[in-house]
Amino acid sequence: MKNKQAEIIKKLSDKELHINLLFTQVILLTISVILGVILFKEAASFIDLFQIRDWNIITVGGTAAIVVIGWDLFMMRILPESYQDDGGVNERIFKSLSYPMIFLVALLVAVSEEILFRGVIQTHLGLFWTSLIFALVHYRYLFNWYLFVNITVLSFFIGILFEVTNNLLVTIFAHFLIDSILGIIVKSKK
């Protein structure tokens, strides 16, 4: 299964890979809307999950992102490269994007994934099931035990941020910083 996915990805042009990424995020947002309409009795209870005037967005979200990025960079230094191998998907995506596009893609992914997983699923199924579903949706990580454990722990960590702050903007900001900074690091590697 892993080899089949890797071969499909190798056959895609960079543009096709980016279109697939965009399409995936649109699907996640569509699922969020559909589930949100079904699960939330009123729109106000969902809108309340976005607290704009909250310093936790920067302090908690930013600090959490720095911790995750620091941990990832540390692990990249001490573990063999094979532990970080997702089939080359992240490298293909980020190396072919301009820096402004890295920020845009990171923002799109952070918004779509956090709205679905924290805003809709976690508020209704809880932290455990949300983290497990989040890890399983990141399909390419299933074939590398380290990446699977890493994404599962990351999901629990971001889920705890949401539990503590009850603010989706905190998790969106943390997710955005993690993806954009690690994306820039991937792009900068030779």
| C-alpha to C-alpha distance for 174 and 185, rounded to whole angstroms | 16
| Per-residue pLDDT, 168 | 97
Say yes or no to pLDDT of 1 above 60.
no
Q: Kindly report the pTM of this predicted structure.
A: 0.92
Mean pLDDT of the chain: 92
Q: How confident is the model at residue 6 (pLDDT cuts 50, 70, 90)?
A: low
| Residue 2: pLDDT over 60 | no
Tell me what the mean pLDDT of segment 166-174 comes to: 97
Contact 88, 6 (CB under 8 A): yes
Check pLDDT > 80 for residue 4.
Answer: no
pLDDT > 70 fraction of the chain, expressed in percent and rounded: 96
DSSP class of 140 = G
Q: Compute CA distances 4 → 1, 7, 78, whole Å.
A: 5, 5, 29
Q: With contact defined as beta carbons under 8 Å apart, do 111 and 160 qualify?
A: no
% of the chain exceeding 90 in pLDDT: 76
- Whether pLDDT at 3 is above 70: no
Confidence band of 143 (pLDDT split at 50, 70, 90)? confident
Confidence of residue 85 (pLDDT cuts 50, 70, 90): confident
